[in-house]
Amino acid sequence: MAWLFYVAGAVAIIATLMMLTRLNAVHALLYLIVSLLAVAIVFFVIGAPFVAALEVIIYAGAIMVLFIFVVMMLNLGRRAIQIESAWLKPGMWVGPVILAAILIAEVAFLVAGPGGPKIGAEVVGPQEVGIQLFGPYLIGVELASFLLLGALVGAYHVGVAKVKEEHGNHSDESRAVAGGDFVRAGTDRPAGSP
């Protein structure tokens, strides 16, 4: 199964290179996602399926969606595409498709094939990961949670400042009072009353 590891590794490297050379932000992000998926396969092959799944869920699935979300909000489409089309017109989309196809084939082979993932070390399941995290590496987990809490508070602070600023722009305060969120709206008066 070692060849799976190398193929996935190669895909990850190529996809990352492609990501770095793209001029269109969304295309670059697509390559980054392919790269992350390839890394997930690498994890899977070397016997860490739990980490592989988390890699896909958290990095490819959540964080990159945020990235794309932000890029979509930025109005750089037309100019960036003009530059990009001047550079790389033909076969632009073939790359990620082929790379992803290889990955899919690998996943299919891994999943459908007999035996299961093996390369050198034994498989580390979710239970072992959990026991390790909350045993010897507890201090690491705690530190990480501190960091995340700090980030959370910071993000909240930034977000609140922004919201306040926006509210100054609009005279309509009624919605914030009565219908701003799903929970409070509708509970401030009896059901069915006109």
Partner 1 sequence: MEIVIHIVTVLVVLFVVLNIAAGLIWVERRLLALWQDRYGPNRVGPLGLMQVAADTIKLFFKEDWVPPFADKGVFILAPAIVMLTVLMSFTVLPFAPGMQITDLNIGLLFVLAMSSLGVYSVVLGGWSSDNKYSLLGGLRAAAQMLGYEVFMGLALMGVVLMAGSFSLRAIVDAQSKMWFIVPQFVGFVLFLIAGAAEMRRLPFDIPEAESELVAGFHSEYSGMKFGMFFVGEYVGVVLISALISILFLGGWHGPLLPPIVWFLIKMFAFIAFFILLRAGLPRPRFDQLMSWGWKIMLPLALANLLVTGAIVLAVK
Partner 2 sequence: MSTAVANTTILSELQDKFGAGSIVPQETRDHIPTFWAPRDQIHDIVRHLKSGVPSPYKMLYDLTAIDERVRTHRDGEPGSDFTLIYHLLSFERNEYIRIKAALKSDDLHVKTITNVWPSANWYEREVWDMFGIVFDGHPHLARILMPRTWVGHPLRKDHPARATEMGPFRLPDQKQDEEQEALRFRPEEWGMKRSSEDTDFIFLNIGPQHPGTHGVLRIVLQLDGEEIVDCVPEIGFHHRGAEKMGERQSWHTYIPYTDRIDYLGGVMNNLAYLTAVEKLAGIEPPPRAQVIRVMLSELFRIISHLVWYGTFAQDVGQLSPVFYTFNDRERAFGIIEAICGARMHPNWFRIGGVAQDLPQGWDSMIRDFIKYLPPRLIEYDKEIMRNRIFKARTQGVGAYSAEECIEWGVTGPNLRACGFEWDFRKKQPYSVYDQFQFDIPTAQHGDCYDRAAVRVEEMRQSLRIIEQCVNNMPAGSYKSLQPLSAPPLKPDNTMHDIETLITHFLGVSWGPVIPPGEALGAIEATKGNNGYYLISDGSTVSYRTRIRTPSFPHMQTLPNLCRGLMVSDLLAILGSIDFVLADIDR
- Name the site residues for partner 1 (rule: CB under 8 A): 24, 26-27, 30, 33, 49-50, 52-54, 56-57, 60-62, 65-66, 68-69, 72-73, 77, 81, 92-94, 96-97, 104, 107, 111-114, 123, 125-127, 181-183, 185
What is the DSSP annotation of 134-177?
TTTTHHHHHHHHHHHHHHHHHHHHHHHHHHHHHHHH-S--HHHH
* Number of alpha carbons in the 13 Å side-chain half-sphere of residue 121: 10
Question: What is the C-alpha to C-alpha distance for residues 67 and 87, in angstroms, rounded to an integer?
Answer: 24
**In angstroms, what is the minimal distance from the CB of 87 to partner 1?**
15
Question: What's the min distance (Å) between Cβ of 176 and partner 2?
Answer: 9
Task: Give the pair of three-digit tokens for residue 45.
Answer: 């092959």
Give the binding-site size for partner 2 (rule: CB under 8 A): 19
Which listed option, partner 1, partner 2, none, makes contact with residue 52 (CB within 5 to 8 Å by class)?
Answer: partner 1
- Which stretch in 35-43, 79-87, 116-124, 178-186 sits in contact with partner 2 by CB under 8 A? 178-186
Q: Please give the structure tokens belonging to residue 133.
A: 């995290």
| 97 binding partner (options partner 2, partner 1, none; Cβ < 5 to 8 Å by kind) | partner 1
Residues contacting 109, CB < 8 A, separation 6+: 4
DSSP state of 122: P
Tokens of 76: 């750089």
Query: Which of 90, 192 has the CB closer to partner 2?
Result: 192
CB of 167 to partner 2, least distance (A): 8
* Residue pair 122/47 in contact by the 8 Å Cβ criterion: yes
> Can you read off the two tokens belonging to residue 181?
């969120």
Binding mask 72-91 for partner 2 (x = CB under 8 A): -x-x----------------
Amino acid letter, residue 41: I
26 binds, among partner 2, partner 1, none (CB under 5 to 8 A by kind): partner 1
DSSP state of 123: P
Output 122 or 166, the one with its CB closest to partner 2. 166
Residues that bind partner 2 (CB under 8 A): 73, 75, 166, 169-172, 174-175, 177-180, 182, 185-186, 191-192, 194
